[in-house]
Chains A and B, each alone.
Chain A
Amino acid sequence: MATGEALLAVERLTKHYGNVVALNDVSFTITDGITGILGENGAGKSTAIKILLGLLRPTSGTATVLGQDASRSIAVRSRVGYMPEHDCLPTHVSAAEFLTHMAEASGLPPAMARTRAADTLRHVGLFEERYRAIGGYSTGMKQRVKLGQALVHDPAFVFLDEPTAGLDPAGREEMLALIRKTHREFGISVLFSSHLMADIERTCDRIIVLQDGRLVQSGEVGHFTKETETVFIEVDSNREGLVAALRKRGVAVTIDRTGLTIEGPDESVYDHVRDALVEAQAPLRRMAPRRRALTELFERESETAYTTGAA
């Protein structure tokens, strides 16, 4: 599939469980790359993934995966992989046997399934341990087996539902690196669901944010962080004079305990800062561009939404 072409498309998707609205008129498209789907528990992430996997029928709207209706086409599932959040591994079989079986269950001939299982276990870092029963694996190793079974049939697209859940910091780093590798080296596009913004920010190219079953944001991760670009300035003295000089030039400044922050600067701001420093005779100690983390952005937006809602 060509880069930029929609791999997944969701159009006016709604899902009700009785009176509970899990998804409400959600539309988005996902192209090649790593896309993060972010939201709190109950935001509708898992429901969206289950509809895209064909495990749930939507109440209304359509979900298309690789050009086919997700809830009707069984064949398309041979080209997608799924790593669930919950435990889903047998305990008494080896990882090699399990992955071979899963590859066959995805439609691969037995000889190919064995080869793919060995290759995949090597890629997820379990080659040496492949003949041990899964029941004896650590949490991190089990997560790798879960990822392995999602990749063993070489899908075009893989759904990862909370892949870092239950991992220690080192295991989490390794899993995030594996996810990046999945797209950058294996060429498999990823939809990565998480409630951890840091994981999404560090791994994903694009982001979809769901809140209470509604789509609240979607776009490039870089776009969100660029929007929140700031310049941080610290001076040795006459901070008040500098603030006045900047405000006189129409530059919005916020003051905190250690310095000044100018939000969303364009190129001309640096000229204003230079002139204001000269005017205020304020000795510059430090000036650096800084990007806000997504966490700050969405914290700020949810506060705004809360305030608006309260008003």
Chain B
Amino acid sequence: MKVTEKEVNYVADLANLELSAEERSGLLRDLNSILDYIEMLNELDTSNAEPMAQVSVNYNTSKSNNGGDKVGYVMREDIVEGLRKSLSQEAALENGPDTDGAFFRVPKVIER
């Protein structure tokens, strides 16, 4: 067993997931079986392989863009309204489960 019950609880905490006892035991089983399968990656020698976080660093090269080579295409002018007008406050709040018309409301953060 790679993952223990204690670790399932710890990871659920990190992920902000409330889980039922039944879900916890199911996850304990599933995670262990998936991680057992994933174990096969250790057959490979990766000492000569750089970690690959994005494919696009290899090809998105626009020399005309400021920033030069590899990540030049992600640069843009720093302008106040950006590329799209910001949402109005009303539109931004529209999907909020609890608002007062100006802010999202949430339960108290600091207990007294």
Task: Tell whether A pairs with B.
Answer: no
What is B's interface to A at a CB cutoff of 8 Å? none
What is A's interface to B at a CB cutoff of 8 Å? none
